[in-house]
Chains A and B, each alone.
Chain A
């Protein structure tokens, strides 16, 4: 099971500069744990503690096959072999 994950510029310090890495997992949460095993520190940049569990950070957008994961289950979003995951920090401010 291989899932391509597109990494934004600001997180490439965790991937030796790679724009894209491969991971695995049956859900987005599992994929992020797998990424963390190979790229320590990256998980902390993607998720945060919330209501006793963990959830995606408010200003990090993650897409599975172009769908915003917030609409397909967040960290529970199901993944399949060949899916493409894109991570993009929000462009936002005050």
Chain B
């Protein structure tokens, strides 16, 4: 199960809505081994595409160096789908390379940039196998 603070959940949804119709992407980092998504980090989608996302290579290096310096890891890796459901695509599965992370998918297909509910779902992706998990949104992390 993914346990995430309301504020972080809202920040991910707001980012996805703002970037629509392009895919939004980012990370929520937390202390290594803690499974606590604490530090919300928006990333730039270097692909600037409605159907693909990729971090810029220098941004990627800076992100991992910073997490390393702070003894953090990517607890949540999120991105949005803008025209399809919040389920990992074939490409998402093929490129998933953090077996310890919660892969969060948000779909903005229903309301785009506007107010309204979004699909917000979380998965583990390990060796090409996708396992959906429950999402618990809490006022604050315990």
Contacts and interface: CB of A to CB of B under 8 A. Distances in A.
Interface of A: 8-10, 59, 61, 63, 66, 68, 70, 86, 88-94
B64 A93 contact: no
B58 A94 contact: no
B97 A8 contact: yes
Interface stretch (B4-12, B83-91, B111-119): B83-91
Contacts of A9: 73, 97-100
Contacts of B100: 9
Interface of B: 25, 27, 43, 47, 51-55, 57-58, 60-61, 64, 73, 77, 79, 88-92, 95-100
Contacts of B27: 91
B51 A61 contact: no
Scoring B27, B52, B57, B96 by chain A CB atoms within 10 A of each residue's CB, the highest score goes to: B57
A10 to B, nearest CB: 5
Secondary structure dominating the interface of B: mixed
Contacts of A90: 54-55, 57, 60, 95, 97
Nearest to A68: B57
B60 A94 contact: no
Scoring B25, B47, B54, B100 by chain A CB atoms within 10 A of each residue's CB, the highest score goes to: B54
A93 B58 contact: no
